[in-house]
Structure 1
Amino acid sequence: MAGANTRQQIVEAADRLFYERGFEATSFADIAGIVGASRGNFYYHFRTKDEILGAVIAYRLSKTKEMLDGWESSAETPAKRILSFIELLLINQTKIMAHGCPVGTLCNELAKLDHVAKDDAAKLFNLFRDWLSGQFAALGRGTDADTLAMHILMRSQGVATLATAFRDEAFVRREVDEMRAWLAAQRPRLSETPAPVSDYDS
């Protein structure tokens, strides 16, 4: 059990450092220093930084799926579930302004490095894309669900990038409000649904 705990601590420490400093700028010593693991104990779990990267990506995929499953069970409608995704920008605003989007920054860095794990990191975006596409389909937009999913994914990434550059909280709030309004406009028109007949209409 202690070994499993140490491994998990290494993964979580690496996850934070890769986000805050970047993958390339983070060393074994940086990670070990946070965990407090000896060199021998550290190398027992991970021989290379690429092995740690693989574990971090798997960890993020697991945590993201857990979050999406939580939205599925707690939000009653697809619109409310999509809204949960949009409002991540507000929930994580401080971290985003300091370090950017954890998914976007990792994917961008690995792409620039042409790292072998770049496609694995992109699975994080695919997870969001597929989930959002499913929500838009459930909203009644089956024919263009993937296009709408890509649009809101692209817009959230743009907001995160500019939030990091300008560190403007008001900008983030305005953009989230705009995305809320955009989402409301994607719902099927109420006029297309016959209104219930009231006793007072006769």
Structure 2
Amino acid sequence: MKDQTTRDHIIEAADRLFYQQGFEHTSFSHIAGAVQISRGNFYYHFKTKDEILEAVINKRLADRRMMLGQWEIDGDTPVDRIQSFINILLVNKDKIQLYGCPIGTLSTELAKLNHGAQEQANQLFTLFRSWLGRQFSLLGRDRDADVLAMHVLAHSQGVATLANAFNDEAFIRQEVRQISDWLAEIAGHCPKEQGQQQLSKKEQEK
């Protein structure tokens, strides 16, 4: 394998293991074993676990930016785009039931450890908060766009935490329906020229 390819494999394996096992309980040996490389080859790319953590967070940021960018392309309206964020609970329901939210669990663990990378990890939440806020602004809710963004973000984190605790898929589906109904209501109460006109055909048919 080329050096860059090997490094990518290490980061991908670490990303998966940090999510499934936690950062603290994942060792160099775990990651090297998952990638099937020698410890010497491993140390050529990363000298410390903190270096791997930084790379994993950067990967998650890049992946989420790409995901949000795709939603911008695919979503005809702000409602469609916000709905894509809400639906992530359904798309990732199996993993969420097993391990919780990858972003929330990492941020919580780093906070408990008082780890220096906590602020960097929280950039993932900030990314979502800013993006959701922009979508609500486009719906004509400039004054409370950030409040609404935080509501959606808090809801998704709460659902992920409880779905993981109770391993309950029905709960996820129920909560997604409820927050989706709330979103439709929010969109319906936007100024007519900015709100109703921005509803997708799917939303208008409800």
TM-score (norm 1): 0.93
Aligned match of 2:136: 136
**Letter of the aligned partner of 1:107 in structure 2?**
S
Structure 1 residue 13 corresponds to structure 2 residue 13 = yes
**1:189: how far off?**
3.1
- Closer/same/farther in 2, CA of residues 144 and 112 from structure 1, 3 Å limit: same
Query: Which is worse superposed, 106-115 or 184-193?
Result: 184-193
Code of the aligned partner of 1:50: D
Q: Give the Cα–Cα distance (whole angstroms) in 1 for the partners of residues 130 and 191 of structure 2.
A: 29
Which aligned runs of 4 or more in structure 1 are off by greater than 6 angstroms?
none
Q: Secondary structure at the residue paired with 1:108?
A: helix
After superposition, the C-alpha distances for 1:121-173 in whole angstroms (9 at most, x for unaligned) are: 00000000000000000111111000000000001100000000111111110
Aligned-residue CA RMSD (Å): 1.4
How many matched pairs?
A: 194
Q: Give how far 1:38 is off.
A: 1.2
Larger radius of gyration: 1
What are the equivalent positions in structure 2 for 1:1-202 lying under 5 Å apart? 2-189=2-189, 192=192
Percent pairwise identity: 58
Whether the 8 Å contact between 1:71 and 1:84 is mirrored in structure 2 is yes
Match of 1:198 in 2: none
Distance in 2, Cα, partners of 1:39 & 1:46: 10
Runs of 5+ in structure 1 lacking a partner? 196-202
Unaligned runs of 5+ in 2: 197-206
The 8 Å contact of residues 20 and 99 in structure 2, kept in 1 or not, is answered as: yes
Q: TM (normalized to structure 2)?
A: 0.91
Tell me the secondary structure at the aligned position of residue 187 of structure 2: coil
Secondary structure of the 1:143 match is coil
- Taking the aligned partners of 2:188 and 2:177, their CA distance within structure 1 comes to 20
Partners in 1 of 2:114 and 2:37 — Cα distance?
30
User: C-alpha distance in 1, partners of 2:113/2:157?
Assistant: 20
CA apart distance, 1:49: 0.2
